Amino acid sequence: MVDSRRVTLKDIARSLGVSVNTVSRALTDKDSVSEATRARIKAEAQRLGYVPNPMARSLVLGSAMTIGLVITNPSNPFYARLISAIEHRGRGYGYSLMLLVNEESPDGDQTAAQTLLRWGVDGALIVPAVQGDGEHWERLPESGIPLVCLNRDLPGLDLDCIGVDYELGAYTAARHLVEAGARTVCLLEEDLPISPVADRTAGFLRALTEAGLPAGADRVRSVPTRRRASLALPWEPADAYHLAQDIVRGGDLPDAFMVGNDYFALGVYRALTEAGLRVGEDVLVGGFGDHPFAAYLNPSLTTVALPAAEIGTSAVDLLVSRMRGQDDHDRADKRRLPAELVVRTSSRRDEQALVT
Amino acid sequence: MVDSRRVTLKDIARSLGVSVNTVSRALTDKDSVSEATRARIKAEAQRLGYVPNPMARSLVLGSAMTIGLVITNPSNPFYARLISAIEHRGRGYGYSLMLLVNEESPDGDQTAAQTLLRWGVDGALIVPAVQGDGEHWERLPESGIPLVCLNRDLPGLDLDCIGVDYELGAYTAARHLVEAGARTVCLLEEDLPISPVADRTAGFLRALTEAGLPAGADRVRSVPTRRRASLALPWEPADAYHLAQDIVRGGDLPDAFMVGNDYFALGVYRALTEAGLRVGEDVLVGGFGDHPFAAYLNPSLTTVALPAAEIGTSAVDLLVSRMRGQDDHDRADKRRLPAELVVRTSSRRDEQALVT
DNA sequence: CTGAAAGCGCTAACAT
DNA sequence: ATGTTAGCGCTTTCAG
């Protein structure tokens, strides 16, 4: 392989007998370059296969044309969709994406913050790890790097945050279960101290209270997440399966289960089926996430669809407007996009309606 | 917000009355700096909150300490796991990850190649888009940027490639179905001209041939992928559902279905169930991918587990060794990691065994 | 052991 | 319209 050094402005300049600077101006479409030379320069650049060096460019311009995305777990389908949307939208604006994974650990968070700071990204979208008091994040806005929180709020800092209205989503879902006839509903939630869990729990309990049903803390069960090799894996249906099994065996069987994510619903389905109970008839089930498989389970799963793409898209939009300094002095923007209940068979006690 | 310019070496130098360069040496742990001054410098750097600027560093060093990852679709769970593994391993080596999405289009590929080239990443892992003759990729190795193909081979170029042994995986799965009693097996595959599809098809047909069963091209059906808004979405079970429905209605019912990915299995399950057929008894089903839901379907899905994490990890290892120029003159490394058949209930005609 | 000088590739002043 | 100079932040000569 020939030692093919990158072609630089200097190469073009020399080859054409003009100054480096003229080449720069020609290529960046500044005026004050005659059309003739510009054409010659562009042609030569093309011929030589010139590719601008963003390092050098960023160094002098101070902008890297890069945004950072810090996420807990790319294998979580919700975050996967977020990544897709963000990459796409960011690319539309001309930004490259630097992806960092914190694996749900404060250490990972810290490292990510550090990396972002080093690179001097123009802005970052973050799903902060649990337990983070978030203090390491503070330095980024201080250094002029705008931050937008995704999905989870970071209570300490006054940051922009775009999430889901989990409270209303859970309220709607729980209310639906109650209207379908459930009297003793049990919520199975992830055992993480994060705002989505808290919000869903709140909405869930609100619906029960409103319906005059018992709404004690015992209606909510934390799924003991079996500590996996890495948290960078999707949720584990088995965890919910075991808990549901315990509940079923415990005798005090709820007539409906609501779960924090569709993967848990898989576990609940199995626990119920194995106990000879019919999902959607003996016991209703409602999920969260509207994973592609939800519509195809038997019975199909009633669940709450999350606006992942919208979150990603509007987060990039917001970030870009912050980066451009257009609303530097606005208050932090806390936005919660609506989630939508998708009613399917697992919550219809009577009808045997087939799903679309 | 105070105008907090980044702290630079110069700031530290001035504040301490030493030269910029001594600071640089102290901080990068070069020798030829007295322990005393080094300590003072490190302390001051700490105090001031110094963060090195990788742009400047890369500019002079020529290495960005960044690897690029080009992927067709982060929402595809297989690729999502790949991303997780690659980010993790790359981080272990100290590399940052630049994520690019080609959305299965040659244009996206071209753009990605261009971006990678601009940034001068140290190396890149790519899942090239279909139809790409791959010529735009050539320039990267030419510029000294090593490339490793993931999952799909790029026939044109002589690149390193780490994928899955889909042929053997499919062979094993098909053979298993035959041994379970299937005589007329039908393979449902994605309608993309990519090597994984070709390999699975080959393995599938080999198993049939070997068993003395009809192995004509009509045993393989292409799932007409409904053109979605964006290809950056997971597979659509509905596509397979419709095809399976057609097949069932066509009368010439196979006694087993094999599908190219577990999402298709969801569609097949529904088509069969709706036709009053019992999966795993009247008709066997085998999938590919071992998605988390596979074990939790009813009946649980026999499928082929793919070594996503291993691919990601070893791809990074290989890339790093290439970047270090350790085996610059080796021939391209074409590696196919083994996939593993996971037998569950959907392929057991008789036993009603419960899954673990 | 430390400092001074040069340069990575590019752009933005300031000339001309 | 073009060239010259300077500098982004850092590292690597080369002197001292």
pLDDT exceeds 80 at position B246: yes
Q: What is the dihedral of CA B128, B81, B294, A344, to 10 degrees?
A: -90
Instruction: Give chain D positions with protein CB within 7 A.
Output: 1-5, 7-13
Question: Per the CB < 8 Å rule, is B119 touching A141?
Answer: no
* pLDDT, position B232: 53
Nearest partner of A339 among A78, A27, A73, judged by Cα: A78
Average pLDDT over residues B269-287: 97
CA A348 to chain centre: 31
Please answer whether residues B161 and B135 qualify as being in contact, where contact means their C-beta atoms are separated by less than 8 angstroms: no
* Residues of chain B contacting A97 with CB distance shorter than 8 Å: 98-100
Q: How many CA atoms lie within 13 A of B5 on its CB side?
A: 6
CA A94 to chain centre: 21
Give A231 or A46, the one with higher predicted confidence: A46
How far is residue A143's CA from residue B12's CA, in Å, rounded to a whole number?
17
Mean residue pLDDT of chain A comes to 89
Please answer whether residues A163 and A338 qualify as being in contact, where contact means their C-beta atoms are separated by less than 8 angstroms: no
Residue among A99, A236, A263 whose CB faces B97 most closely? A99
Please answer whether residues B314 and B90 qualify as being in contact, where contact means their C-beta atoms are separated by less than 8 angstroms: no
Strand C lies under 7 A from the Cβ of residue B80: no
Could you please report the per-residue DSSP string of A198-245? Answer: HHHHHHHHHHHHHTT----GGGEEEE-----S-SSS---HHHHHHHHH
Beta bridge partners of B100: B70
Question: Per the CB < 8 Å rule, is A99 touching B119?
Answer: no
Confidence of residue B326 (pLDDT cuts 50, 70, 90): low
Same fold, A64-163+308-337 and A166-306+341-347: yes
Give B189 or B3, the one with higher predicted confidence: B189
pLDDT exceeds 60 at position A29: yes
How far is residue B286's CA from residue B256's CA, in Å, rounded to a whole number?
8
Give B179 or B14, the one with higher predicted confidence: B179
Could you please report the per-residue DSSP string of B30-95? Answer: -SSS-HHHHHHHHHHHHHHT----HHHHHHHHS--SEEEEEES-TTSHHHHHHHHHHHHHHHHHT-
Residue among B56, B120, B292 whose CB faces A59 most closely? B56
Question: Per the CB < 8 Å rule, is B237 touching A292?
Answer: yes
Nearest partner of B126 among B145, B147, B142, judged by Cα: B147
Nearest partner of B299 among B233, B237, B351, judged by Cα: B351
Give A157 or B299, the one with higher predicted confidence: B299
| d(CA B326, C1' C5) / Å | 34
Confidence of residue A14 (pLDDT cuts 50, 70, 90): confident
Confidence of residue B229 (pLDDT cuts 50, 70, 90): low
Give B320 or B156, the one with higher predicted confidence: B320
Sequence length of chain B is 356
Lowest mean pLDDT across A132-136, A169-173, A246-250: A132-136
Phi, psi for A280 (deg, rounded to 5) = 90, -10
pLDDT exceeds 90 at position A134: no
Beta bridge partners of A164: A337
Phi, psi for B279 (deg, rounded to 5) = -65, 135
What is the β-pairing status of strands A96-101 and A66-71?
A: parallel
Alpha-helical (H) ranges within B62-134 are 77-93, 106-119
How far is residue A124's CA from residue A335's CA, in Å, rounded to a whole number?
17
CATH class, domain A64-163+308-337, is alpha beta
Average pLDDT over residues B301-326: 94
The helix-helix angle for B166-179 and B195-210 (nearest 10°) equals 40
* pLDDT, position B354: 39
Confidence of residue B356 (pLDDT cuts 50, 70, 90): very low
CA distance A199 to chain B (A): 26
Question: Which residues numbered 18-77 in chain B sit less than 7 A from strand C, measured from CB?
Answer: 18-22, 25, 31-34, 36-38, 56, 59-60
Closest nucleotide to A59's CA, by C1' atom?
A: D8
Closest nucleotide to B35's CA, by C1' atom?
A: C1
How far is residue A259's CA from residue A255's CA, in Å, rounded to a whole number?
13
How far is residue A25's CA from residue B248's CA, in Å, rounded to a whole number?
66
pLDDT exceeds 70 at position A31: yes
Please answer whether residues B85 and B150 qualify as being in contact, where contact means their C-beta atoms are separated by less than 8 angstroms: no
Please answer whether residues B78 and B294 qualify as being in contact, where contact means their C-beta atoms are separated by less than 8 angstroms: no
How far is residue A138's CA from residue A136's CA, in Å, rounded to a whole number?
5
Q: Nearest 5 degrees, angle CA A232-CA A238-CA A243?
A: 120
pLDDT exceeds 90 at position A142: no
Confidence of residue A211 (pLDDT cuts 50, 70, 90): very high
Confidence of residue A91 (pLDDT cuts 50, 70, 90): very high
The token pair that represents A206 in the structure block: 């609100």
Lowest mean pLDDT across A201-205, B20-24, B340-344: B20-24
Average pLDDT over residues A79-92: 96
Question: Per the CB < 8 Å rule, is A55 touching B233?
Answer: no
Give B79 or A117, the one with higher predicted confidence: B79
Confidence of residue A347 (pLDDT cuts 50, 70, 90): very high
Phi, psi for A76 (deg, rounded to 5) = -70, 120
Beta bridge partners of A68: A98, A124
Average pLDDT over residues B248-252: 91
Quick one: which H or E segment has residue A164? strand A160-164
* pLDDT, position B231: 54
pLDDT exceeds 70 at position A233: no
What is the β-pairing status of strands B256-259 and B220-223?
A: unpaired
Quick one: which H or E segment has residue A60? helix A54-61
Q: Which residue is nearest to nucleotide C4 (CA to C1')?
A: B19
* Residues of chain B contacting A53 with CB distance shorter than 8 Å: 59, 118, 120
Confidence of residue B260 (pLDDT cuts 50, 70, 90): very high
Burial of B270 (0-12, 13-18, 19+ CB in 10 A): buried
* pLDDT, position A225: 78
Average pLDDT over residues B94-113: 93
Strand C lies under 7 A from the Cβ of residue A9: yes
Question: Per the CB < 8 Å rule, is B118 touching A52?
Answer: yes
Quick one: which H or E segment has residue B124? strand B123-126
Q: Nearest 5 degrees, angle CA A84-CA A87-CA A88?
A: 80
* pLDDT, position B3: 44
Question: Per the CB < 8 Å rule, is A74 touching B83?
Answer: yes
CB pairs under 8 A between A and B: 180
Q: How many CA atoms lie within 13 A of B23 on its CB side?
A: 22
pLDDT exceeds 70 at position B1: no
Cis before residue A254, ω within 30 degrees of 0? no
Question: Per the CB < 8 Å rule, is A87 touching B101?
Answer: yes
3-state secondary structure of A75: coil
Please answer whether residues A207 and A242 qualify as being in contact, where contact means their C-beta atoms are separated by less than 8 angstroms: no
Give A133 or A211, the one with higher predicted confidence: A211
Please answer whether residues A97 and B100 qualify as being in contact, where contact means their C-beta atoms are separated by less than 8 angstroms: yes
Residue among B51, B142, B266 whose CB faces A293 most closely? B266
Phi, psi for B69 (deg, rounded to 5) = -130, 120
The pLDDT tens digits of the residues spanning B25-67 come to 888 888 778 888 888 888 888 888 888 887 888 888 877 889 9
Quick one: which H or E segment has residue A341? strand A340-342
Strand C lies under 7 A from the Cβ of residue A337: no
pLDDT exceeds 80 at position A3: no
| d(CA B45, C1' C2) / Å | 19
Closest nucleotide to B36's CA, by C1' atom?
A: C1
Q: How many CA atoms lie within 13 A of B34 on its CB side?
A: 4
Question: Per the CB < 8 Å rule, is A115 touching B96?
Answer: yes
Quick one: which H or E segment has residue B185? strand B185-190
CATH class, domain A166-306+341-347, is alpha beta
The pLDDT tens digits of the residues spanning B112-126 come to 998 998 888 999 999
Confidence of residue A220 (pLDDT cuts 50, 70, 90): very high
Give me the sheet containing A185-190, strands edge to edge: A220-223, A185-190, A256-259, A284-289, A302-305, A340-342
Beta bridge partners of A66: A96
Instruction: Give chain C positions with protein CB within 7 A.
Output: 1-5, 7-13
Q: Report percent pLDDT > 70 for chain A.
A: 92
* pLDDT, position B212: 96
3-state secondary structure of B330: coil
Residue with tokens 């989630």: A339
Q: Which residue is nearest to nucleotide D9 (CA to C1')?
A: B56
Q: Report percent pLDDT > 70 for chain B.
A: 92
The token pair that represents A88 in the structure block: 């796409």
Q: A9-52 adopts what CATH topology? A: 434 Repressor (Amino-terminal Domain) (1.10.260)
Q: How many CB atoms lie within 10 A of CB B28?
A: 10
Question: Per the CB < 8 Å rule, is B77 touching A74?
Answer: no
pLDDT exceeds 60 at position A356: no
The token pair that represents A100 in the structure block: 């960092």
* Residues of chain B contacting A118 with CB distance shorter than 8 Å: 51-54
Give A222 or B117, the one with higher predicted confidence: A222
| d(CA A56, C1' D12) / Å | 18
* pLDDT, position A354: 38
pLDDT exceeds 70 at position B285: yes
How far is residue B100's CA from residue B115's CA, in Å, rounded to a whole number?
9
Confidence of residue A352 (pLDDT cuts 50, 70, 90): very low
Closest nucleotide to B33's CA, by C1' atom?
A: C1
Lowest mean pLDDT across A239-248, B28-37, B74-83, B301-310: B28-37
Q: How is chain B split into domains, by residue range?
A: 9-52, 64-163+308-337, 166-306+341-347
Closest nucleotide to A55's CA, by C1' atom?
A: C9
* pLDDT, position A70: 97
CA distance A100 to chain B (A): 7
For the whole prediction, is pTM greater than 0.85?
yes
* pLDDT, position A156: 77
* pLDDT, position B132: 67
* pLDDT, position B327: 60
Lowest mean pLDDT across A1-10, A25-34, A216-225, A265-274: A1-10
Lowest mean pLDDT across A26-30, A125-129, B243-247: A26-30
Please answer whether residues A185 and A256 qualify as being in contact, where contact means their C-beta atoms are separated by less than 8 angstroms: yes
Report the Cα–Cα distance between both ends of chain B, in Å, rounded. Answer: 57
Residue among B118, B234, B296 whose CB faces A270 most closely? B296
Inter-residue long-range contacts of B325-328, CB under 8 Å, 24+ positions, other chains counted: B328/A1
The pLDDT tens digits of the residues spanning A283-342 come to 999 999 999 999 999 999 999 999 999 999 999 999 999 988 765 566 889 999 999 999
How far is residue A18's CA from residue B46's CA, in Å, rounded to a whole number?
45
Lowest mean pLDDT across A88-102, A218-232, B237-251, B295-309: A218-232
Beta bridge partners of A71: A101
Give me the sheet containing B147-150, strands edge to edge: A334-337, A160-164, A147-150, A123-126, A66-71, A96-101, B96-101, B66-71, B123-126, B147-150, B160-164, B334-337
Mean residue pLDDT of chain B comes to 89
Question: Per the CB < 8 Å rule, is B55 touching A52?
Answer: no
